[in-house]
Amino acid sequence: MIRNVVVGVVRDGVDAEQVEAALQALRDLELDGEPLGIVAGQDLGLREGNASYSLTVDFADEDAYRRYDLDEEHNRIRRELFAPISSEIRRIQFRLP
């Protein structure tokens, strides 16, 4: 199983509603007609210097991750909803034990 983790920092002036709309678009995303089970949220501000939002999603294998990464709707969401509001986005994929 492959876990994908994304952590982002929003640009100055971006409000929480814009971030939530982008995160909800990903939560609603389906791949091959199936929900992805993306878990996403905004930082609670419990520690200074944190990122603004994060999301995780698990995939059966590398091929499933690649289908997600190349999915047209996923890339539209990244391009139209996340790119304009984010100053930085970091990703990592790792194998779960």
Domains of the chain, each with CATH number or no CATH: 2-95 (3.30.70.100)
Reported as type and span, the H/E element at residue 91 is: strand 86-95
pLDDT at 19: 98
pLDDT at 50: 97
pLDDT at 1: 97
Beta-sheet pairing, 34-35 with 30-31 = antiparallel
Reported as type and span, the H/E element at residue 67 is: helix 62-70
Segments in the chain below pLDDT 50: none
Location of structure tokens 């930085």: 88
pLDDT at 32: 87
Q: What is the pLDDT of residues 74-89, one digit of tens each?
A: 999 999 999 999 999 9
pLDDT at 93: 98
